[in-house]
Amino acid sequence: MKVERIEYQAGSAAAIGALIYDDTVTTKRPLLLISPNWLGMSNESIERVKTMAGSKYVAFLADMYGAGKISKGPPEAAELANGLRADAPERRRRITAALETLRRESDKRGIGDLSKQAAAGFCFGGGNVLELARSGADVKAVVCLHGDLITSMPSKTGDIKAAICVMHGAADPVVPKKDRDVFEAEMESSGAKWQMTTFGHLLHSFAEEESNVPGIARFDPGAARQCYKMVDDFVTAAFDGKL
């Protein structure tokens, strides 16, 4: 798998994302934008995107903080992520810039099928791709894995073009049921095509192997395997017009 560091301007941040693809494949492939968790451009997130892209997708890992930053841990990550959570317009500018970079760089290399575009995100990154959908981005599918669900700029009727899939832990203390209820009401009132799968008893970050914060986040290998298959199935169905 090839990992190319790409410099681009993302809102107010000079960003460095990663274009990730199998360079032995010569055919054009669908585009998959990935937004990482609040730790940023970590080695774990890059390895995860390599697995998700495989030979099927051209992927881009978004840099939401600028300079390809990797957080030192939860206190710094919370400060960085909360700054963007409090500024939804800037959050949208940054994730939109990542999508535009994926489009441009894949097209430049002749490897991207621009008729098939999707986005997925983990935790804070899940909230980022939901903001992308709320902004009216022209993508077929958006998948949020145990992510932020509520926003200061809820969608209105007709705003969302993408099909939305959310996968969430029933016992997630970071994004509890009251947030799921608010999100569900927003999706229903907006008229979006959406679905949510809630995994019983699971905490936050259950699809990320490095997660282990007692009482808050815990990796679940069975649910993780199911989720990654669901991402591919959902995105493929959206591309094929079968949702």
Q: What is the pLDDT of residue 13?
A: 97
Q: Would the pLDDT of 43 be above 90?
A: yes
Q: What is the pLDDT of residue 85?
A: 97
How big is the CA angle at 19 (ends 18 and 24), to the nearest 5 degrees?
135
Q: What is the pLDDT of residue 119?
A: 98
Domains and CATH numbers, the chain: 2-239 (3.40.50.1820)
pLDDT band at 218 (very low <50, low <70, confident <90, very high): very high
Q: Would the pLDDT of 47 be above 90?
A: yes
The answer to whether 126 and 150 have CB atoms below 8 angstroms apart is no
Smallest CA-to-CA distance from 17 within 103, 116, 76, 79 is with 103
- Average pLDDT, whole number, for the chain? 97
Q: Tokens at residue 81, please?
A: 């992520």
HSE-CB at 66 with a 13 A cutoff on CA atoms is 11
Mapping DSSP onto H, E and C, the string for the chain reads CEEEEEEEEECCEEEEEEEEECCCCCCCEEEEEEECCCCECCHHHHHHHHHHHCCCCEEEECCCCCCCCECCCHHHHHHHHHHHHCCHHHHHHHHHHHHHHHHHHHHHHCCEEEEEEEEEEECHHHHHHHHHHHCCCCCCEEEEECCCCCCCCCCCCCCCCCEEEEEEECCCCCCCHHHHHHHHHHHHHHCCCEEEEEECCCCECCCCCCCEECCCEECCHHHHHHHHHHHHHHHHHHHCCCC
Q: Would the pLDDT of 73 be above 90?
A: no
How large is the average pLDDT for residues 225-234? 97
Adjacent-strand bridge partners of 169 = 199
How large is the average pLDDT for residues 71-82? 93
Share of the chain above pLDDT 70, in %: 100
Q: What is the pLDDT of residue 74?
A: 87
pLDDT in tens, 152-207: 999 999 999 999 999 999 999 999 999 999 999 999 999 999 999 999 999 999 99
